[in-house]
Amino acid sequence: MRQAFLLLPIIVLLGASSARADGAADLAAAQAADQQHDAAAALPLYSSALAAGTLTPDQQAAALRGRALDERDQQQFEKAIADDTQAIAVKPDDEQAFVDRAAVYAYQGKADLAIADLTNALYLQPADVTALVDRGAIYASRHDYQHALTDLNAAVKAEPDNLGAMLNRAAAYHGLGDNDKAIADLDAVIKRRPDLAGAYYDRGNAWRDKGEAARAIADYDTAIRLKADYADAFHNRGTAYQLTGQYAKALADFTAAIRFAPANPSAYYNRGNTYRMLGQYDNAVADYDTLIYLTPNFAGAYSGRAYANYDAGRFVAAANDFARAVVLDRSQAYPVLWLHLARIRTHQFDNAEFAANLRQIDGQAWPAPIAAYLLRKIPSARLLELAQEGDAQSRAIRVCDADFFIGEDSLNQRQSRAARQFFLAARRNCPPPSPSFAGAIAGLRR
């Protein structure tokens, strides 16, 4: 953190002293400029101070660190790293230089180097809360939540009112699935800073993942009221509306998210899914097209477009996209199953392809029993029995899938009455938004 420096009158004595005073004066002037957030004025003054060659080691390190901070703010990252590195060479125990350089590495996405610098900083000053919070945040970003909590707990213990420590600890708890502890930290932050939009957004995420969609929506509402262009809050409120089947509201929120962040792939993906739930298949395909442009190797983009085309009755296009999705991610089972359905719809004999694709996925876990049913290895009654296994949430998804695939298979067998009954069951019981739910709705339209 930058400190305020008091400008003292400079007494000019002799030529040699004048040079020394000029270096110190330029350093003080640079620091004063930084206090006014005038990096353009500060940078040449730091350079002039260093060029004088008369600064003490402490002053040199301060000048190098100051210049590095300004360079970092102007995204001149390599120059900032060079200056912080030189500051460390001049003063090896300059703990702040390690912290500052770590921040630059973090901006560059070089997490290992950032962690190494912060570890050195904490060796020099174990109680440095900034270093603890920064290292904890980096650990959390890497999903190393246990190490993150070690650092962030220490930071909160040292400074109980440190909002950065509490916000990052909440993120770590959320990453571990401990939403109650995440909410407790965010409650404390909001109590201290009721105007902090990000805290409401984070708490909304925790409420949503806890299954409390209404409370999540309320927090997203507040985040958006505080920050009208909060793209992520619009997006995640859209997912909460989506989970509760409020598709028109979800659609409006995803559209707002795209308006404020037009390059966010998740918004196109989720809006495409919402269009699909509403039966607006052409709009869905258009969003998946954009998603594929933004993320050409994302299997979910192709499978999303395939689901939309399948529901629209464009089975050849669906088969092509499912096949691409399978190639991009062979661990995903559902595109394999839907590809098989699309092949059947286009009257293609795909036994060899289906068998080869099934070898790439887990043959024991769900939805493997669906493949066994489609291959006539088990009857529909046995598939429905297997779908009843597991906890309540997974059971709902499994029963939904079983109803849809039995309905689709019945339709292919020209058993339209049976197909309708299974599609109705899927529409009634499926947790939205799932491909089986949308597929059942499309099946009822045929």
- Residue 364: CB atoms within 10 Å: 7
Q: Could you tell me the two tokens for 286?
A: 């258009």
Tell me what pLDDT residue 62 has. 96
Q: Where are the domains of the chain?
A: 1-122, 362-446
Which residues, 6 or more positions from 26, have their beta carbon under 8 angstroms from its beta carbon? 45, 46, 48, 49, 52
Is residue 321 predicted with pLDDT exceeding 90?
Answer: yes
- Give residue-wise pLDDT tens across range 160-197: 999 999 999 999 999 999 999 999 999 999 999 999 99
Tell me what pLDDT residue 9 has. 37
Q: Assign domain 1-122 to a CATH class.
A: mainly alpha
Is residue 324 predicted with pLDDT exceeding 60?
Answer: yes
Tell me what pLDDT residue 6 has. 33
Looking at per-residue confidence, does 18 or 216 come out higher? Answer: 216
Is residue 5 predicted with pLDDT exceeding 50?
Answer: no
Tell me what pLDDT residue 433 has. 76
pLDDT, average across residues 343-358: 95
- Give residue-wise pLDDT tens across range 35-78: 999 999 999 999 999 999 999 999 999 999 999 999 999 999 99
> Which of 99, 87, 16, 80 is closest to 50 using CA atoms?
87
Tell me what pLDDT residue 434 has. 86
Is residue 235 predicted with pLDDT exceeding 50?
Answer: yes
Three-state SS sequence of 200-253: HHHHHHHHHHCCCHHHHHHHHHHHHHHCCCCHHHHHHHHHHHHHCCCHHHHHHH
> pTM of the entire structure?
0.86
Q: What value does the mean pLDDT of the chain take?
A: 93
Is residue 17 predicted with pLDDT exceeding 60?
Answer: no
Is residue 32 predicted with pLDDT exceeding 80?
Answer: yes
pLDDT, average across residues 209-227: 97
What percentage of the chain exceeds 70 in pLDDT? 95
